[in-house]
Structure 1
């Protein structure tokens, strides 16, 4: 398996305070070709979203506004927590990584994904994630 770890991606911040800023990315700057873009907003702070992993999909999660706390767990059981509160940063989520997100009420989450949506790509039960990926991680030690 060619495992990539979750990590922060920095986007450029162009402009100045009197006129505002723009951040941009293109496929050549991403760890994958973008096939889908979606966003979430007005999520209550008490709600934890995500709670899944993907077989194939790679994602970059950006807090376009507000704050998002992204927790990840890889196949080896290593947990990382990323706090996104600048629109110039995103967190890369590779396949086979369980992830959850918790938002400030004003958060707008922008997600860039490597695949079009298909329900078959989702692992929605944590025990299934551990069974699918935990076995592979144990075999690679």
Structure 2
């Protein structure tokens, strides 16, 4: 799958519904994510008035999934902002390079799973919004 710079997309994760009513199962396999997963982490116990993120990546791709509860992701490509609500564990938000993200409005008990295309590398982060605007040419 080709990923355009500065765009995002929602990815449906296969959901297997148990016919006996024992709950659902979702599976993430190599073909379901458009990059090799090199790092997995999750956010939890985030107060509802706090926010996370506040950065962009130069090279790393990320897929965010609300495993439990809900939260909003504010996406900014330097020219326009969009807000996406994540509240289903079978929907992932693919964030490509060059997109500033902020996560906010966490519901009680929410868990955000992040699948990343690379290991942690501080040099890949753009943590200053003015530097981000320069990076994307805005």
| TM-score normalised by structure 1 residue count | 0.89
Structure 2 spans left out of the alignment, 5+ residues: none
Q: 1:82 maps to what in 2?
A: 84
Change (3 A) 1:128 1:4: closer
Structure 2 residue 119 is the aligned partner of structure 1 residue 116: yes
Number of matched pairs: 133
Return structure 1 stretches of 4+ with deviation > 4 angstroms: none
Deviations 1:76-100 (A, max 9, x none): x121111011101010000110000
Separation of aligned partners in 1, 2:137 and 2:9? 20
Q: How does 1:1-141 map to 2 (within 5 A)?
A: 2-3=4-5, 5-16=7-18, 18-75=21-78, 77-102=79-104, 103-135=106-138
Q: Which has the higher helix share?
A: 1
Q: CA RMSD in A?
A: 1.3
Alignment check: 8 A CA contact 2:17 2:24 kept: yes
* Aligned-pair CA distance for 1:134: 2.3
